[in-house]
């Protein structure tokens, strides 16, 4: 396990820049009410546009590389969006995924008022290892957290940016020697 954590490339090798901000609108003149904030966060938490996926898994050039990407919707008013990535590895002794200690990455996605935004990071591990990730999505405004929701990585997303090979989306990653 120590080798697994040690092999992680300084918690993240690459942070992808936010993409796909659709129709960025100007900030509304007033502040949203607490009820508007609650409704917007509840809607975003249930949105099919909220997901996390493995977008890179041991390419031919980078056998030990895993990429995690997340997408989250805006709230309809100005807010900062961010995600936090944590890993779990499959333990043959316990027959379940166990957390990788001391390895997480905060990825600020920026501010937006509408549309969706994607971002992620790539990490290096020493193969062989089977991994999955948990991503915590956070919306905040003026330094105050408005909402946080957590998702496990899932596969089958068709609009994943920066995947390798293009279009790749999976729930887990088995890095092989």
Which tens digits make up the pLDDT trace of 29-69? 468 999 999 999 999 999 999 999 999 999 888 889 999 99
Whole-number Å distance between alpha carbons of 75 and 44: 7
The label of the residue with tokens 């993409």 reads: 19
The pLDDT of residue 2: 43
The conformation of residue 167, written as its DSSP 8-state character, comes to T
| pLDDT for the residue 36 | 96
Residue 158: count of CB within 10 angstroms of its CB:
6
Q: What's the rounded mean pLDDT across residues 85-90?
A: 96
CA–CA separation, 32 and 52 (whole Å): 28
Whole-number Å distance between alpha carbons of 84 and 147:
13
Q: What mean pLDDT value characterizes the chain?
A: 86
Over range 86-110, report the average pLDDT.
Answer: 95
Helix H or strand E segment including 40: helix 34-46
DSSP H or E segment with residue 130? strand 129-141
The H helix count followed by the E strand count for the chain is 2, 9
**pLDDT of 1 strictly over 80:** no
pLDDT higher than threshold 50 for residue 13: no
Q: Is 166 exposed, middle or buried (0-12, 13-18, 19+ CB in 10 A)?
A: exposed
pLDDT at 116 over 90: yes
Domains of the chain (ranges; CATH) run 2-175 (2.60.40.10)
Is the pLDDT assigned to residue 25 strictly greater than 80? no
Instruction: Check residue 177 and give its pLDDT.
Output: 82
């Amino acid at each position: 396990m120590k080798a697994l954590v040690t092999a992680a490339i300084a918690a993240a090798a690459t942070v992808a820049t936010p993409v796909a901000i659709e129709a960025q609108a100007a900030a509304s003149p007033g502040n949203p009410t607490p009820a508007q904030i609650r409704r917007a966060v509840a809607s975003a938490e249930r949105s099919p546009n909220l997901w996390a996926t493995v977008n890179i898994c041991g390419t031919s050039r980078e056998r030990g590389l895993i990429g995690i990407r997340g997408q989250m919707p805006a709230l309809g008013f100005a807010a900062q969006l961010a995600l936090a990535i944590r890993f779990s590895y499959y333990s043959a002794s316990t027959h379940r995924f166990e957390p990788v200690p001391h390895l997480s990455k905060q990825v600020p996605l920026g501010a937006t008022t509408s549309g969706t935004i994607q971002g992620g990071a790539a990490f290096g591990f020493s193969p062989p290892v089977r991994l999955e990730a948990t991503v915590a999505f956070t919306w905040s405004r003026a330094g105050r957290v408005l909402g946080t929701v957590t998702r496990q990585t899932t596969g089958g997303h068709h609009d994943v940016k920066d995947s390798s090979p293009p279009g790749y989306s999976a729930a887990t990653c088995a890095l092989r020697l």
